Structure 1
Amino acid sequence: MTKYNQTFKQQVVDFYFSNHESLSITCKHFDLPNETARRWIVQFKHSGSSGLAVRHSKQKYSPEFKFNVVQSVLLGQFSGRGAALHFGLSSSGMISQWLKTFEKQGINGLLPKPKGRLNMTPKYPKMPPKPKTRGEELELRILRLEAENAFLKKLDEIIKREDRKRQKRSKP
């Protein structure tokens, strides 16, 4: 839900023009931040009353559109505010987010995010099926013993490495 409707925005703009284009008087009269009133006035000058229209649903932009906007700002064709006006965006804040994302992640950062939660459960290897024959049972036992042996060797290696570090620290 937006904080201000189109009628209110139009009243602010009309008041501004009827009071000798005084931004400070307009902001005091309507108790608005300067930046908000300035943005509405610029949008009105650029697009007329349609520039003040309130969008009732969240806009979704294609990666190509986002890339065009970002490129126009990076190439110096527009400032963030100028690009917002030219491309019909509600604010330059969205462009700032796109620029930051593009700098960090490149074009992939402008792609739509997947919906839903990510599965955070770790994926462990599946256990082999229960052995059916004595031979399979022995093979499984060998695999377990080999894994245990490798684990113990690695543990012994780590303990010896830690002992050597302690000895080096204790020698003056």
Structure 2
Amino acid sequence: MSKYTKQFKLGVVKRYLNKSTSFNAIGQHYCINGSIVRRWVKRYEHYGAEGLGKKFSHYNLEFRLSVLQHMWDQQLSYAETALVFDIRSPGCLGVWERSYHSGGIDALTPRTRGRPKNMSAPPTPKAPHAKEDESRSHEELLAEVAYLRMENAYLKKLKALVQQQAQTTPRNKRK
């Protein structure tokens, strides 16, 4: 939902056209920025009342490239270019231009929106020693498990002894 309705925008534009006041004065009356009023008036002068309505459009690679080329050839600003091509958000032109300069034509291709249709299953992680374990005998694996259990018990005992020793040692008090 847009912040301002088409009727509101049309009312602001008509008020500007009927009175001989500035964009900023009209903007202050409606508590909006004067540059927004200027943009609405330009759109109204160029496209009529339809230029103030919503426009949902997705721009393909060829259109984006032609817009940028026209902007560079005619040395137009983002706002002027957006007005010529009826692009409602002039800020996207800066994004397109930066993308083109950083990544070339491939960076201008529109991205697909939404979730991918077929989610691929994530690859199952294999243990680092999985191939070694498959080639070893059952007895060797049992011996390794017993060794690891013994090592784990030893480390637990060591940790308990360190904690017990830390509790029994008196700490120096500061004076």
TM-score of the two chains, using structure 1 as the length reference = 0.64
RMSD: 3.0
1:16: which partner in 2? 16
Q: Which amino acid aligns with 1:74?
A: W
CA shift, 1:26, in A, is 0.5
Distance 1:68 1:124 in 2: 47
Q: Partner of 1:75: helix, strand, or coil? A: helix
Distance 1:9 1:3 in 2: 10
1:60: which partner in 2? 58
Distance 1:21 1:46 in 2: 20
Bigger CA drift: 35-44 or 21-30? 21-30
Distance 1:38 1:123 in 2: 58
Distance 1:19 1:75 in 2: 37
**4+ runs of 1 displaced by more than 6 Å?**
122-125
Paired residues, number: 131
1:41: which partner in 2? 41
Distance 1:116 1:53 in 2: 29
1:1-172 → structure 2 map (5 Å cutoff): 1-55=1-55, 58-114=56-112, 115-116=114-115
Bigger CA drift: 83-92 or 15-24? 15-24
Distance 1:42 1:18 in 2: 15
Q: Which amino acid aligns with 2:13?
A: V
Distance 2:70 2:24 in 1: 32
Answer yes or no: is the 8 Å Cα contact 2:78–2:94 preserved in 1: yes
Q: Which amino acid aligns with 2:84?
A: H
Answer yes or no: is the 8 Å Cα contact 2:82–2:89 preserved in 1: yes
Answer yes or no: is the 8 Å Cα contact 2:79–2:90 preserved in 1: yes
Q: What do the CA deviations read for 1:29-65 (whole angstroms, capped 9, x no partner)?
A: 111111111110111111111111123xx42111100
Distance 1:64 1:123 in 2: 41
Unaligned runs of 5+ in 2: 137-175
Unaligned runs of 5+ in 1: 138-172
TM-score of the two chains, using structure 2 as the length reference = 0.63
CA shift, 1:22, in A, is 2.0
Distance 1:61 1:23 in 2: 31
Whose Rg is larger?
A: 2
Q: Partner of 2:104: helix, strand, or coil? A: helix
Distance 1:24 1:80 in 2: 21
| Aligned CA distance change for structure 1 residues 72 and 124 (closer, same or farther; 3 Å) | farther
CA shift, 1:101, in A, is 0.8
